[in-house]
Amino acid sequence: MGKKKTILDFHNMKKSGEKVSWVTAYDFPTASFAEQAGIDMILVGDSLGMVVLGYSGTVPVTMDDCISHCKAVRRGAPNTFVIGDMPFGSYQASDEEAVHNAVRFLKEADMDAIKLEGGRRVTSRIKAIADAGIVVFGHVGLTPQSSGQLGGFKAQGRTIESARELIKDAIAVEEAGAQALLLEAVPPEVTEFIAKKLTIPVYSIGAGLPCDGQLLICGDMLGQFQAFTPKFVKKYANVAEVVINAFKEYIDDVKNERFPEDKHVYHIKDSMEDFEKLFKEFE
């Protein structure tokens, strides 16, 4: 297993033009698989609310939910750069609360960085967390925690006015001290401008090719999450179909007594005659 990358590595990758690959993960096995595959980064996203916990959105996810899943991911991927996603309500109230919760990700779950949503409205939070010595990833564009204000899960930056606001947010996030920025559901033309404008790495989730790397949600790319599939997702597997078919085959085997076979059972060590005597003791 290679040496774990640092934020400096990601800055150098931006300079050299090497793209960064990252995915979300929420549990030990998925994180382990991602690390074995050679992924650059893992995000323990608050998307776990929908993908793992079955909520209709990310808002119900708590700090304790995130910390628990971050711990599992760290155990699965000890040699990978892992980012904890700050859930709704964990940084909105004050700079002090934002720092307190960001610190929890490092102290309790051994995260390498935190991510939070928002542009100019959260610059004081970004600065406070960065000043505490924590690596901060910004996130602008379609920000699921505030999707209600955006009118739902809609792409951003598609008009001149929207793009202008997005660019202002991106610049503000860098100036506040963020070390990287995630753009979600943004046209590639805007993504390319922002990626060239900023000195920090700019990554895409549904924001096109011309940037410093790509993020996908594991449940989407693996075909595990069935409620909906965003336009920007490429499915690399259909795990749901494989798992459902496996369950169906198991059910059929049980009903028709094809499972368990002899190779699946443990055999007695003493004679059957002795066991029959034992059974008679209880008749």
pLDDT per residue as tens digits for the range 108-123: 999 999 999 999 999 9
Whether 9 has a pLDDT exceeding 90, the answer reads yes
Own/partner pairs for 198-205, CB < 8 Å, 24+ apart?
198/170, 198/171, 198/174, 199/174, 200/11, 200/14, 200/174, 201/10, 201/11, 201/13, 201/14, 201/20, 202/170, 203/20, 203/22, 205/232
Percent of the chain with pLDDT strictly greater than 70:
96
Own/partner pairs for 208-213, CB < 8 Å, 24+ apart?
211/183, 212/10, 212/13, 212/14, 212/19, 212/20, 213/13, 213/19, 213/20, 213/21, 213/22, 213/40
Would you say 115 and 182 are in contact if contact means Cβ atoms under 8 Å apart? Answer: yes
- Report the pLDDT value the prediction gives residue 150, as an integer from 0 to 100: 47
Q: Is residue 56 part of a domain?
A: yes
For residue 145, give the 3-state DSSP assignment. helix
Map tokens 């008749």 to a residue.
Answer: 283
Q: Is residue 84 part of a domain?
A: yes
Residue pLDDT, tens place only, 190-205: 999 999 999 999 999 9
- Report the pLDDT value the prediction gives residue 111, as an integer from 0 to 100: 98
Q: Is residue 117 part of a domain?
A: yes
Residue pLDDT, tens place only, 223-242: 998 777 788 899 999 999 99
Euclidean distance between CA atoms 215 and 119, whole angstroms: 19
Are 256 and 117 contained in the same domain? Answer: no
For residue 44, give the 3-state DSSP assignment. strand
- Report the pLDDT value the prediction gives residue 188, as an integer from 0 to 100: 96
For residue 202, give the 3-state DSSP assignment. strand
- Report the pLDDT value the prediction gives residue 156, as an integer from 0 to 100: 77
Residues in Cβ contact with 235 at an 8 Å cutoff, skipping those fewer than 6 apart: 220, 221, 222, 223, 229
Are 123 and 230 contained in the same domain? Answer: yes
Of 222, 237, 252, the residue at which a domain comes to its end is 237
Sign (positive/negative) of CA torsion 219, 222, 224, 227? positive
Are 262 and 186 contained in the same domain? Answer: no
Backbone φ and ψ for 11, nearest 5 degrees, come out as: -65, -40
Whether 91 has a pLDDT exceeding 70, the answer reads yes
Are 89 and 120 contained in the same domain? Answer: yes
Residue pLDDT, tens place only, 125-152: 999 999 999 999 999 998 767 545 544 5
283 exposure class (CB count in 10 Å sphere: 0-12, 13-18, 19+):
exposed
Relative orientation angle of helices 63-76 and 28-37, to the nearest 10 degrees: 40
Would you say 218 and 24 are in contact if contact means Cβ atoms under 8 Å apart? Answer: yes
Are 259 and 177 contained in the same domain? Answer: no
CA angle 95, 129, 66 (to 5 degrees): 90
Euclidean distance between CA atoms 221 and 23, whole angstroms: 9
Whether 1 has a pLDDT exceeding 70, the answer reads no
Of the candidates 96, 174, 184, 276, the residue annotated as catalytic is 184
- Report the pLDDT value the prediction gives residue 246, as an integer from 0 to 100: 98
Q: Is residue 2 part of a domain?
A: no
Q: Which domain holds residue 258?
A: 242-281
- Report the pLDDT value the prediction gives residue 112, as an integer from 0 to 100: 98
Q: Is residue 196 part of a domain?
A: yes
Are 174 and 262 contained in the same domain? Answer: no
- Report the pLDDT value the prediction gives residue 157, as an integer from 0 to 100: 84
Are 152 and 197 contained in the same domain? Answer: yes
Over residues 211-215, the mean pLDDT reads 98
Of 206, 222, 237, the residue at which a domain comes to its end is 237
Are 222 and 264 contained in the same domain? Answer: no
Q: Is residue 223 part of a domain?
A: yes
Q: Is residue 1 part of a domain?
A: no
Are 67 and 40 contained in the same domain? Answer: yes
Are 275 and 172 contained in the same domain? Answer: no
Over residues 259-272, the mean pLDDT reads 97
Q: Is 18 a catalytic residue?
A: no
Are 124 and 164 contained in the same domain? Answer: yes
Residue 146 sits in a domain whose CATH number is: 3.20.20.60
**Facing residues of 22 across strands?**
41, 215
**Facing residues of 44 across strands?**
84
Please name the helix (run of DSSP H) or strand (run of DSSP E) that holds residue 192, with its range, or none: helix 188-197
Percent of the chain with pLDDT strictly greater than 90:
89
Number of structural domains in the chain: 2
How many Cβ atoms sit within 10 Å of the Cβ of residue 257?
Answer: 8
- Report the pLDDT value the prediction gives residue 155, as an integer from 0 to 100: 77
Q: Which residue has better confidence, 159 or 148?
A: 159
Over residues 77-82, the mean pLDDT reads 98
Q: Is residue 12 part of a domain?
A: yes
Residue pLDDT, tens place only, 42-74: 999 999 999 999 999 899 999 999 999 999 999
Are 266 and 145 contained in the same domain? Answer: no
